[in-house]
Structure 1
Amino acid sequence: MADDGVLVLLDLPDEEVGQLLKRKVRDLRKGLLLLDDAPPLKAIKITPVQIEGVIPTPVKSDVYQQAEKARRRLVQLGELLDSSQLRESLNITKQAVSAATRANRMFTVEVEGQAYYPVFFADGKVDRTVVERVARLLGQLPGWTKWDFFVSRRGSLGDLSALEALGKGKVDLVEKVACAFHEEMTR
């Protein structure tokens, strides 16, 4: 009976319900950020209570289509560069790009099956070696998650994005927040 799960949930201490909710929100956020890399959305079991988190297919495909449209727009705006554009901008070899990517100093994001590099590796607004150092701190996180770290405003950075904070010389703070972000996303 479905009501049994609700009654069990209502009997849990508030702190435990809060922890369950927080985990659920974190999982949902990861799923939205990592549309390409996230497992299919389906029932998620959380002990001791089972809470089903099914997002209907039309909603999922609509969100996916909106994300893809926004990603295509980033390519059109020049915010994302293909490998040859990046190499030309930086005047480096294909091998150097590959080595930096393997070492997590650079990363790619996928748009319609093609890999792109964020323009901030090449635009010179922030010292590339600093950007690469921060990217490396983000480890093996998927590219779109790393993108989110660099471009989204964060309270922990004084309501600046990581790129804005780096531009203001707050390198140590950004590195500290990058480590915390990596830890949070890999829990």
Structure 2
Amino acid sequence: MMTKATTIQAHMAPLNTEAEDALRSGVGAAAMLGREKAEALLALPDEQLGRLFKLGISQVIDLAGLITFDRAAPAADRERKRPGRGRTVVRDTAENSHSFDFDQRASPGRALVESGKLLPAAKVWEGLDMTRQGLNKAVASGRIFTVDVGAVQYYPAFYLARDVDRKTLAKITQLLGSLPGWSKWQFFTTPKASLGNITPLKALSRGKVDQVAKAAAAFAER
């Protein structure tokens, strides 16, 4: 007797090696969500699930070249002492808050945390001279976004930068709407041809507010 999975597989075209490896990784990630969430995905129509999955990939694909998972790292390398642990460094400029060199074996986002490009909530509300409740309201209104590193939420250090007007940065963040946090990070830190091949953060520091606003609106509608 054929199972549902066998029936579906029988109707699918063969995959190339890269696509098959990527699909296996995606299925493995879905399995880690837990049974309830995995079943919620299975309940979606095939066309909708495929479309949403492709949309999500398209929004974060630029990050794929910068971040890799810790699958190939030797145990000794993973356990080695990392410099700067326990110390937070806030950069003086928005541009410096995203320029980093990833260890190709680093877990996603961990290098950003250790280098001070991502900050815990307490550092941010202190740096912005606001209360914890005020920071939560800023996130809820879309003026500030967070990213997940493991099970912990962090905030981009560029919200504390001195070379970009904070109100302007908040308005640009709101234009990105309900995109995932890492997609918003990608927008702010990736050079764009429409901005003269510089990042939106750098463009904002040079006063190109209207151009960045248009880029943000277009990015949110992709």
Alpha-carbon distance between aligned partners in 1 of 2:119 and 2:157, rounded to the nearest angstrom:
6
Secondary structure of the residue that 1:106 maps to in structure 2?
coil
- Unpaired stretches in structure 2, ≥5 consecutive residues: 1-9, 15-52, 71-103
Of structures 1 and 2, the one scoring higher in RCO (CA 8 A, sep 6+) is: 2
Residue 140 (structure 1) aligned with residue 140 (structure 2): no
- TM-score normalised by L of structure 2: 0.56
C-alpha displacement at 1:68, in angstroms?
5.6
In structure 1, the residue matched to 2:219 is 181
Structure 1 counterpart of 2:150, which letter? E
C-alpha displacement at 1:63, in angstroms?
3.8
Alpha-carbon distance between aligned partners in 2 of 1:136 and 1:67, rounded to the nearest angstrom:
33
Structure 1 residues 34 and 159: CA distance shift in structure 2, 3 A: closer
- Unpaired stretches in structure 1, ≥5 consecutive residues: 7-23, 36-61
Residue 165 (structure 1) aligned with residue 203 (structure 2): yes
Residue of structure 2 aligned with 1:150, choices 172, 188, 195: 188
In structure 2, the residue matched to 1:110 is 148
Alpha-carbon distance between aligned partners in 2 of 1:128 and 1:67, rounded to the nearest angstrom:
34
Structure 1 residues 144 and 166: CA distance shift in structure 2, 3 A: same
Alpha carbons 2:60, 2:186 under 8 Å: kept: no
Residue 64 (structure 1) aligned with residue 69 (structure 2): yes
Residue 30 (structure 1) aligned with residue 59 (structure 2): yes
Alpha-carbon distance between aligned partners in 2 of 1:142 and 1:179, rounded to the nearest angstrom:
15
Structure 2 counterpart of 1:90, which letter? L
Structure 1 residues 94 and 28: CA distance shift in structure 2, 3 A: closer
Structure 2 counterpart of 1:158, which letter? G
Secondary structure of the residue that 1:69 maps to in structure 2?
coil
Alpha-carbon distance between aligned partners in 2 of 1:152 and 1:87, rounded to the nearest angstrom:
26
Residue of structure 1 aligned with 2:115, choices 77, 80, 97: 77
Residue of structure 1 aligned with 2:162, choices 124, 128, 146: 124
Structure 1 residues 87 and 27: CA distance shift in structure 2, 3 A: closer
Q: Give the superposed CA RMSD.
A: 2.9
Identity over aligned residues, as a percent?
Answer: 38
C-alpha displacement at 1:25, in angstroms?
7.6
Alpha-carbon distance between aligned partners in 2 of 1:28 and 1:93, rounded to the nearest angstrom:
35
- TM-score normalised by L of structure 1: 0.66
Residue 94 (structure 1) aligned with residue 132 (structure 2): yes
Alpha carbons 2:146, 2:153 under 8 Å: kept: yes
C-alpha displacement at 1:90, in angstroms?
1.1
Alpha-carbon distance between aligned partners in 2 of 1:70 and 1:94, rounded to the nearest angstrom:
26
Structure 2 counterpart of 1:119, which letter? A
